[in-house]
Amino acid sequence: MSIKLHHKGQQDYQSCWQEMQDYTLARDENSADEIWIVEHPPVFTQGLNGKPEHLLLASDIPVVNSDRGGQITYHAPGQLVVYTLIDIKRRGLGVRDLVTIIEQAMISALAQYGLKAVAKAEAPGVYIQDKKIGSVGLRIKKGCSYHGLSLNNNMDLSPFSHINPCGYKGLQVTQLADLGVNIRTNELAIPVVNSIINALA
């Protein structure tokens, strides 16, 4: 089962989300799985279970109520976003299996740059020294996943202080640039996406 790869550049969150929904609802058992690589202009996205109190400070950054799992997070240029449009039913995977594949992809990619990251069973995502560097949020419809991961590379992290990231009060975030790794975001995409594709092979 091959996977189609799409480099979408910088794209508005709302239109990208709509496109993912449209693809997922229109697909059938013969539709190809796809991985989308994208960056978003500054936006807060609130997950399905998101609680309004986790937005601590109003600003001119838009807040979008999304249909992914999880709580509030922040996207901006300099953050790698990878969307996994996968027929998990066809591949015999559970949701947790896909979450683990995505987390391990970020962990193995970071290891290539000399960074030791871990996943936490009780708080999905990827952490370096208890600071969050990567997030996971998925939605499943018709046995197919959409949404995916975000991995902080070289962005303005200050808007994270406007929220309880992923619903955790006082959770600090970090990024590759603050850990001494300076690479382009599209370069960071390569080991992350390769790891996901290999795990699904």
The catalytic residue positions are 166
Beta bridge partners, 123, equal 120
User: Which residues in 68-96 are b (16+ Cβ under 10 Å) and which e?
Assistant: bbbbbbbbbebbbbbbbbbbbeeeebeee
Residue 72 among known ligand-binding residues: yes
Residue 73 among known ligand-binding residues: yes
DSSP assignment of 78-99 equals: TEEEEEEE-BTTTTT--HHHHH
* CA 158/CA 72 separation, integer angstroms: 15
Which pair of tokens denotes residue 170?
A: 């006082």
Residue 75 among known ligand-binding residues: yes
Chain center to CA of 29: 25
Residue 136 among known ligand-binding residues: yes
Residue 188 among known ligand-binding residues: no
Residue 94 among known ligand-binding residues: no
Residue 150 among known ligand-binding residues: yes
Residue 149 among known ligand-binding residues: yes
Known binding-site residues for substrate equal: 68-75, 135-137, 148-150
The binding site consists of 68-75, 135-137, 148-150
